[in-house]
Chain A
Amino acid sequence: GNSVTQMEGPVTLSEEAFLTINCTYTATGYPSLFWYVQYPGEGLQLLLKATKADDKGSNKGFEATYRKETTSFHLEKGSVQVSDSAVYFCALSDLRSYGKLTFGQGTILTVHP
């Protein structure tokens, strides 16, 4: 079956530091890959996505590249802000699961001023 593994948190950074959150996946088909962000007390918001190999998703300074050869979709941001503090979820879906999302366990990010 499908699975997603994220680096364990929590991750604590100072403002303007470089961020990487690792995500690897296992899937039998050709999944679409997503990063969702959850701010405290809120639901999930789509941060970015990529639907095929070598695609790069980007939004709000965050980027992730769909790497089929390493089955990875690492999230990066060059300079984090305090407002980026949240929980980040990597997820995949594929046609065979009819749009069902398989989530990673989530990574808590805290950015200090």
Chain B
Amino acid sequence: GAVVSQHPSWVICKSGTSVKIECRSLDFQATTMFWYRQFPKQSLMLMATSNEGSKATYEQGVEKDKFLINHASLTLSTLTVTSAHPEDSSFYICSATLGQGGETQYFGPGTRLLVL
């Protein structure tokens, strides 16, 4: 149980285009979803916290107009990288929790984005 999927698993796009990444909880309803970014051989950096039906809370230094997050249902959150540039190339990982506060996070397999 507690499976989280991401789609696509990898994407290559041209500079200036927008890319949407989906995160789905397959067998549970996720009250909260998190979006992370991971650079090669580094730890995960939390980008934002997403609660169903409300605006995402972004971490300091993360541009909310560039990384649009929508949490339309209890099983789906999307991250849209707008006007992508090569420096946005990274591994994006989402996670989901069953409840709020101190609950275990279940991670998706990640989406590798390469912007040319």
Residues of chain A touching chain B, judged by Cβ–Cβ distance below 8 Å, are 31-32, 34, 36, 42-46, 49, 51, 89, 93-95, 98-101, 103-106, 108
Q: Which of B49, B100, B108 contacts A43 (CB 8 A)?
A: B108
Q: How many residues of B contact A (CB 8 A)?
A: 25
State whether A46 touches B104 (Cβ < 8 A).
Answer: yes
Instruction: Find residues 22-45 in chain B having any chain A CB closer than 8 Å to their own CB.
Output: 32, 34, 41-44
Instruction: Find residues 85-109 in chain B having any chain A CB closer than 8 Å to their own CB.
Output: 93, 95, 97, 99-109
- Can you spell out 8 A-B residue pairs with CB atoms less than 8 angstroms apart? A45-B107, A51-B102, A95-B102, A98-B32, A99-B101, A100-B34, A101-B44, A108-B41
State whether B49 touches A106 (Cβ < 8 A).
Answer: no
State whether B44 touches A103 (Cβ < 8 A).
Answer: yes
State whether B110 touches A32 (Cβ < 8 A).
Answer: no
Report A-chain residues with C-beta under 8 Å of the C-beta of B106.
46
Interchain CA distance A36-B107 in the complex, whole Å: 10
Residues of chain B touching chain A, judged by Cβ–Cβ distance below 8 Å, are 4, 6, 32, 34, 41-44, 46, 49, 93, 95, 97, 99-110
Report A-chain residues with C-beta under 8 Å of the C-beta of B109.
42-43
Distance in Å: Cβ of B80 to nearest Cβ of chain A:
20
Report B-chain residues with C-beta under 8 Å of the C-beta of A103.
43-44
Report A-chain residues with C-beta under 8 Å of the C-beta of B97.
99
Which of A44, A46, A51: most chain B Cβ within 10 A? A44
Q: Which of B43, B100, B108 contacts A98 (CB 8 A)?
A: B100
Contact of A101 with B102 at beta-carbon distance under 8 Å, contacts A43-B93, A44-B44 already known:
no
Report A-chain residues with C-beta under 8 Å of the C-beta of B95.
44, 101
Report B-chain residues with C-beta under 8 Å of the C-beta of A34.
104
State whether B42 touches A105 (Cβ < 8 A).
Answer: yes
Interchain CA distance A44-B43 in the complex, whole Å: 11
State whether A99 touches B107 (Cβ < 8 A).
Answer: no
State whether A101 touches B43 (Cβ < 8 A).
Answer: no
* Closest Cβ neighbor of B6 among chain A residues: A43
State whether B110 touches A99 (Cβ < 8 A).
Answer: no
Distance in Å: Cβ of A54 to nearest Cβ of chain B:
17
Contact of A89 with B43 at beta-carbon distance under 8 Å, contacts A42-B109, A42-B110, A43-B110 already known:
yes
